[in-house]
Amino acid sequence: MRALVDRIAWLAVPLAAYLVVTLLLPALHGATRRAGYLHHAGLVALGCIAVLAIAVAGVALARKGGRP
């Protein structure tokens, strides 16, 4: 489990940068009161989960294939 986390830890940088720019800064500017913000936040969360799932699957497949 730890090895898996180490392999995909770098994804925290692009995901965090995207979340800061598209959700956090607008929220600090009062965007949470705007219609559509929660819908967009949900889609962004879905995208982040998909990226993590693809990365986990990629690491698992690489291990299964015997690659380091």
Partner 1 sequence: MRHWRITGALAALAIVCAGKQYYRDATAGELGWLIAPVARMTGWVTGHHFGYVTDVGWVSRGAAFVIAPVCAGLNFALAAFLALAIVWLPAMRSAGAVVARLAAAAGVAYLATLAVNTVRIALAVELHLGPTAHELLGIAVYLGGLCALVALARRRHARAG
Interface residue list for partner 1 (CB under 8 A): 10-11, 13-15, 17-18, 20-22, 25-26, 29, 39-40, 43-44, 46-48, 50-51
Closest contact distance (angstroms) between CB of 15 and partner 1 is 7
Which is closer to partner 1, CB of 10 or CB of 60?
Answer: 10
Nearer to partner 1 among residue 13 and residue 35 (C-beta): 13
> In the complex with partner 1, which residue's Cβ is closer, 24 or 60?
24
Angstrom distance (rounded) from CA 25 to CA 11: 20
Determine the Cα–Cα distance for residues 50 and 29; give it in Å rounded to an integer: 27
Measured over all CA atoms, what is the biggest interatomic distance in the chain, rounded to whole angstroms?
50
Q: What is the SS3 assignment for 57?
A: helix
